[in-house]
Amino acid sequence: MRRLFLIALLALPLPARAAITSAEECTAAIAADPEAAREDAALWSRTGGGVPARLCEAAALEAMGATATAAQLLSGLAANPNRAMPAALRAIVFSDAARLWLDAGKPDLAAEALAQADRLAPADAAGLKLRARIAAAREDWPAALDALDALVAATPGDAEARALHAAALRHSGRAEAARAEADHARALDPDLPAALFEAAAARAELGETDAAVQLFGDFLEAHPDSPLAPAARANL
């Protein structure tokens, strides 16, 4: 999925003399060589590239795997009142910073960045999902459940949202509801690892041991390298 801040970059005016002169060129440069693109974007920033250059640099850093550095760059950019940005773009940059902080294993910083985004613009479906993921990473299951209740109502066909909803229900002591939600997620996307895992985990919580063992086995056979695989093995 294209980064939201690169899409927003298209709406910004660009300086006349820039090494990279459009969001498309930034994306192409990153695809070819992220490290070189980061250097070009940094040079662009030093020579008057402004906000677009910083967004390009953050995208290159993300492509390099430097998620915490990219998150820090975006957080500072969005929080800088001297940077001229429409409120909608500032909210997008804060949201992307939150996503990157979460990917970097810093859910508390992610929550702070997302709170800033929410002050600037109401959360859309992507924002609700990010809020839920951050809350889950912080093991704040009531907050995750609140966000997911709203998200599932708004996007009932989102299998990923329903699988995460199942996890929040399970961690909130509502195993039967979690089982139903996980099964719904599997019906929407039979190949989604989280849906299969939650279907197994909910049945384990309910004491449906044979069914849980079968599903955990199916999960490990289909997704042995998933981040959820260690938990599945532990349940077996």
**136-154 per-position pLDDT tens digit:** 999 999 999 999 999 999 9
Boundary residue ending a domain (122, 152, 181): 122
**Residue where one domain finishes, among candidates 87, 122, 157:** 122
Which residue, of 65, 87, 122, is where some domain finishes? 122
105 in the Ramachandran plot: left (φ > 0), alpha (ψ -120 to 50) or beta? left
Q: Do residue 70 and residue 146 come from a single domain? A: no
Q: In this structure, is residue 156 part of a structural domain? A: yes
52: its two tokens: 């677009």
Q: Do both 109 and 164 map to the same domain?
A: no
Q: What is the pTM of this model?
A: 0.86
In a domain, 128, yes or no: no
pLDDT tens digits, one per residue of 158-217: 999 999 999 999 999 999 999 999 999 999 999 999 999 999 999 999 999 999 999 999
| Pair 84, 185 in one domain | no
- Residues 22, 116: one domain? yes
Is residue 15 scored above 90 in pLDDT?
A: no
Q: pLDDT of 56-103, one tens digit each?
A: 999 999 999 999 999 999 999 999 998 889 999 999 999 999 999 999
Q: What is the CATH number of the domain that holds 178?
A: 1.25.40.10
Give the angle subtended at the CA of 119 by the CAs of 118 and 120, to the nearest 5°: 90
Average pLDDT rounded to a whole number, residues 122-135: 96
Lowest mean pLDDT among 47-51, 78-82, 104-108, 201-205: 47-51
Same domain as 109, residue 11: yes
> How would residue 7 be classed by pLDDT, with cut points 50, 70 and 90?
low
- 182 and 88 within one domain: no
The answer to whether residue 29 sits within a structural domain is yes
What pLDDT sits at residue 49?
85
37/64 Cα distance (integer angstroms): 10
Structural domain count, the chain: 2
- Residue 129 domain-assigned (yes or no): no
pLDDT value of residue 16: 43
- Asked whether residue 30 is assigned to any structural domain, the reply reads yes
The gap from C-alpha 43 to its chain's centroid, in whole angstroms, comes to 29
Average pLDDT over residues 11-35: 74
Q: Is the pLDDT of residue 19 over 90?
A: no
In the DSSP assignment, the letter for residue 138 is: T
| Residue count (the chain) | 236
Q: What is the mean pLDDT of residues 8-18?
A: 51
Q: Which domain holds residue 194?
A: 141-236
Does residue 25 sit within a domain? yes
C-alpha distances (whole Å) from 224 to each of 10, 55, 119, 186, 218 are 40, 36, 41, 18, 10
Q: From residue 221, how far is each of 109, 215, 224, 227, 232 by CA, in Å?
A: 36, 10, 6, 14, 11
Q: How many helices (H) and strands (E) in the chain?
A: 14, 0
Do 118 and 157 lie in a common domain? no
Give domain status of residue 132, yes or no.
no
Q: Report the Cα 75 to chain-centroid distance in Å.
A: 16
In a domain, 147, yes or no: yes
User: What is the average per-residue pLDDT within 1-12?
Assistant: 55
**Residue-level pLDDT at 125:** 95
